[in-house]
Structure 1
Amino acid sequence: MSPFLAVILNQHFRNLWFGQIISQIAINMMAFVLALRIYQTTASNTAVSLLILTIGIPAVFFGAVSGTLVDRWDKRNVLVVTNLVRMLLLLGFFASSETLPWVYLLVFFISITTQFFVPAEAPTIPRLVPKEFLLTANSLFTFTYYTSMITGFVLSGPVLRFFGPHNVFLFLSSCLALASLFVSQVPPEGKKESKISLNKTEFVKVYQEFLNGLQFIAKNGPIFQSIFLLTASQALIASLASLTPGFADKILQIEIEDASYAILGPAAIGMIIGALLVGQFGRNLSRQSLINLGIILAGFLLFLLSTIVRFRNLPLAVLLLFFLGGANALVDVPANTNLQENAPSQVRGRVYGVLTSLVGGAAILPVMITGLAADIFGIGKVILAIASLVLFYGIYRVVKERYNILSS
């Protein structure tokens, strides 16, 4: 029997796996459905930017503490409760998805809940799968994590069109109810607090560990560089994502609902293929070279994308977005590898906790500026400005690297 088949036939893992797939699709679909609805209602890039910020801000405050707190609780209970809470909150959009303060408030609480859901998922796998199949189970879980995320984004437009602006949230709530049913079939962890509660002392202790993680990163050059690259990459993605509905409407002049698969789809596919190619062939190249190539290529592609304003060429935009996703993989995969190799196991969790918080925090200003600037100056000029910054940084890295080589 193949390892993949053995893992899939494991009923407890399968319940966790199905719960992951369904909840990931539902939450990511919710995010882009709301982005489309907000743009349809307001025609404002700034309003969409505020949505992205509302999703990201909870990671700043809870990203570093959620994992430590979840370790103190029964993870099965955490998965069930967080899915049910998000299901109930999603029903609030059925009442209204046009009142912006109400939408932002619900999204904020859904995002807080998700911060506790994520660290309870993957750490549950070792309890359910024999050691000899652990690598296979993690590989399958990681693959479906990203593919279900992409599926949620890409299908959001068609699902919104099929169910309509209100019933779509009933559908998404039903998905989370089903996900909760699946994870409830996972065996309880045992020897953990079955009751989920928060303790002030625990929060203080966890934030002290977070500060220690910051100090460790500041003193370690390779880790600091990887954290910076990954944070900047995610901030760039969040900024561009906030422009997606407006780019579809004003630049490509396609239906808003088609933005999910016409814009996000090619970029996501490019990211997946790029990651696979880096994993297969990137070992023969230095990681710094891959990162520099990715940054400069991304800047060049963004520059070309800004010219779409004049040509309004959908096939060309799809091609550029595909390669832009690949360029992102050239940066993210080597940077992540450097981070894992240079962070000792005893502080790795704290380092990734810091990364989660920084990604949420660092995106706040760029996303806000991007949305406002797009409404004032136009999307094409904003993308051109971003392209210039990315290209400048890529060239700076290459020049600095060569100077260091000559100096040594």
Structure 2
Amino acid sequence: MTCYDLFKPTNAGSQKRRSCGRGDYPLSESLRQSPETAPSGSHPVLPDQATIAAATSGTGFRAVLSNRNFLAIWVAQMASQTAQNSLWYALIIMVGHLTGASPAGIGFTIILVQLPTVLFSSVSGVFVDRFSKRLILVGTNVIRVFGVLAYLLFETNVGGLYAVTFLVAVVSQPFAPAEGSTLPLLVYGEQLITANSLFQMTFMASQAIGFAIAPIVIGLFGIRITLLVLAALFALSAAVLIPLPPVTDRRKAASAGNLRRLVVRTWGDLAEATRFVVDDPPLAVALLQISLAPTLLLVLAEVGPAFLTHNLGIGQTSTSLFFLLAPAGLGLGIGMFILGQWGQRLRKDRLVLVSLIALGGTVIALAATTIISSFWHTLGAAGLPIPSGVQQTTIMVPIAALLGIEVAFINAPVQTIVQERATPEVRGRVLALQQTLTAGLAIPPLILVGGIAAVAGVPATLTLMGVAIVIVGLGIVYYS
């Protein structure tokens, strides 16, 4: 398996350290060992040899989907993520109804959703590394079923809604690192980037579907029926995960029996994961890169309606984001399909860097949609043989689609890099640290962008953001 050779060696002696970043053994070698050949108690419990053989034959979506364990965790992801995103939309509706659509009340709700990720996701990674990942995946969804039903008890009590929201968000923290650290133990070799492409595609699709079906179901059946449907989706996610093998680390699972001792060692485990990342610069860079796309999408969701309605004159405030997110989602799907079919032939580090720099340029082009439209009409007025009647929407749609493709070309390869470079013993903690960084790094831009947009306008704000992304990409190239 090729190392993520982001940092160029200065000499032969440093090449081994800086290309692999993990000392004297090759990257993710433990993933190639079967349960019989792996040192006793030092590696997670993996599926049997027949499962491994079946899971490594062939590439592409069909080969990956023939892996029953992957299919189970993929279906669980679709069900739980769709339910989660629909739940947050329903929650905003409930809180908005009780607070008179107060921005402060709704904003506090979003903070309660994000805050547990910053506070507890790294801690949850410790538990993921020490307990059965199947138990965590199933148990998290079962608890979320009861959490959703608890909303029915506080439908008219905003304080109760806040409390349940925080608790559900806390309980949800172990799910993503458990899911992410289980995936490379169920999918092997070149199939991993295809599996991650499917995961990234369905993750983004579930966000769109969740926010799309929630208002429809609420409008047709009311909030109570909607909550019952979401509870059923979480229950479905738990049910399909039960047949998974009990993926765990025998050595660490044995030490997890003493809860007090586990709590005492938690901070030591977190420090170990942090040192693991710091000692592996390519892994640290990958964690930074993978946090950029979610931050960008949140910023676009924040300033998008004003940009589309006021600057471009597209749609109404409540519907304008469709014209941006729909083509971006289509581009994301195209990008994930390309990666799923041919991604194993591409060098991941170069693909990510090129896509990152291109993403910055695309954001700048998005900000310049009005300028591009005016220039296009000027060329037409000058008598050049170009299509007439081109509107700003026509220009923005392909730009948004290109943005989606670039996000796909960043997220799936980077997620694969993170999973490959993090050894099984610390993978859960590293993925939890990824959650913390993604949520934490998104907060300052969200605060700054609102102020900058109010002073300089949304196009200037998007331009600054695009320039910043280009600088980050060029900086990585320069120091690599």
TM-score (norm 1): 0.74
Residue 370 of structure 1 contacts residue 382 of structure 1 at CA under 8 Å; is this kept in 2? yes
What are structure 1's unaligned runs of at least 5 residues? none
Relative to structure 1, the CA distance from residue 203 to residue 235 in structure 2 (aligned partners, 3 Å threshold; closer, same or farther) is farther
Alpha-carbon offset, residue 171 of structure 1: 0.9
Cα distance in 2, alignment partners of residues 342 and 7 from structure 1:
23
The separation in 2 between residues aligned to 1:138 and 1:286, in whole angstroms, is 11
Structure 1 residues 152 and 188: alpha-carbon distance in aligned structure 2, compared to 1, 3 A threshold: closer
Partner of 1:171: 226
Instruction: Give the Cα–Cα distance (whole angstroms) in 1 for the partners of residues 356 and 195 of structure 2.
Output: 29
2:421 is aligned to 342
Q: Is the 8 A contact 1:67 1:119 kept in 2?
A: yes
| 3-state SS of paired residue (1:164) | helix
RMSD across aligned C-alpha pairs, in angstroms? 4.6
3-state secondary structure, aligned to 1:295:
helix
Q: Does the alignment pair 1:56 with 2:117? A: no
- Equivalent in the alignment of 1:217: 277
Query: For structure 1, which segment, 21-30 or 246-255, has the greater mean C-alpha deviation from structure 2 after superposition?
Result: 246-255
Residues 12-64 of structure 1: per-residue CA shift (max 9 Å, x gap): x86x76554333212123335667899997696x9877655443321122212
1:195-247 Cα shifts (integer Å, max 9, x gaps): xx994543332232111111122122222221222233333333333334444
Give the count of matched residue pairs.
388
Any stretches of 5+ residues in structure 2 without a counterpart? 1-61, 374-390
- Opposite residue 378 of structure 1, the aligned amino acid is G
| Whole-Å separation in 2 of the counterparts to 1:306 and 1:282 | 30
Which range moved further: 111-120 or 84-93? 84-93
Q: What amino acid is the match of 2:334? A: I
- What residue number does 1:304 align with? 365
Is the Cα–Cα contact under 8 Å of residues 176 and 432 in structure 2 kept in the other structure? no
Q: CA deviation at 1:92?
A: 6.7
Q: When you count helix as a share of all residues, which structure comes out higher?
A: 1
Aligned to 2:440: 361
| Residues 142 and 205 of structure 1: CA distance in aligned 2, closer, same or farther (over 3 Å) | farther
1:226 aligns with 2:286: yes
> Which residue of 131, 156, 171 corresponds with 1:72?
131
Q: Is the 8 A contact 1:53 1:367 kept in 2?
A: no
Deviation at 1:359, TM superposition (A): 1.3
- Name the amino acid aligned to 1:290: L
% of aligned pairs identical?
22
Do the aligned partners of residues 249 and 256 (structure 1) sit closer, same or farther apart at CA in structure 2, a change above 3 Å counting?
Answer: same
| Contact kept in structure 2, 1:159 and 1:168, CA below 8 Å | no
Residue 273 of structure 1: CA displacement?
2.0
Structure 1, 57-66 or 26-35: larger mean CA deviation:
26-35
Distance 1:158 1:55, change over 3 A: same
1:388 aligns with 2:467: yes
What amino acid is aligned across from residue 319 of structure 1 in structure 2? P
Counterpart of 1:174, as a letter, is V
Note the 1:64-103 alignment, pairs <5 A.
Answer: 64-69=122-127, 71-72=130-131, 74-75=135-136, 78-91=139-152, 94-95=155-156
Counterpart-to-counterpart distance in 1, 2:417 and 2:77: 28
Structure 1's 263 and 220: CA in aligned 2 closer, same or farther, altered over 3 A?
Answer: same
Corresponding residue of 2:301: 241
CA distance, structure 1, for counterparts of residue 356 and residue 448 of structure 2: 21
Q: Distance in 2 between matches of 1:147 and 1:300?
A: 26
Tell me the alpha carbon deviations over residues 311-351 of structure 1, each in whole angstroms, 9 at most, x when there is no partner. 68333322211111111223233333333343333333332
1:109 aligns with 2:167: yes
1:47–1:81 Cα change, 3 Å: same
Q: 2:317 aligned with 1:262, yes or no?
A: no
Call closer, same or farther: CA 1:141–1:330 in 2, change over 3 Å: closer
Do structure 1's residue 21 and structure 2's residue 78 form an aligned pair?
yes
**Aligned match of 2:43:** none
Which runs of structure 2 are paired with 1:247-326 in the superposition (5 Å)? 247-251=307-311, 252-259=313-320, 261-281=322-342, 286-308=347-369, 313-326=392-405
Read off the aligned partner of 1:60 and give its amino acid letter: V
Normalised by the size of structure 2, how large is the TM-score? 0.64
Task: Give 1:303 shift.
Answer: 1.0
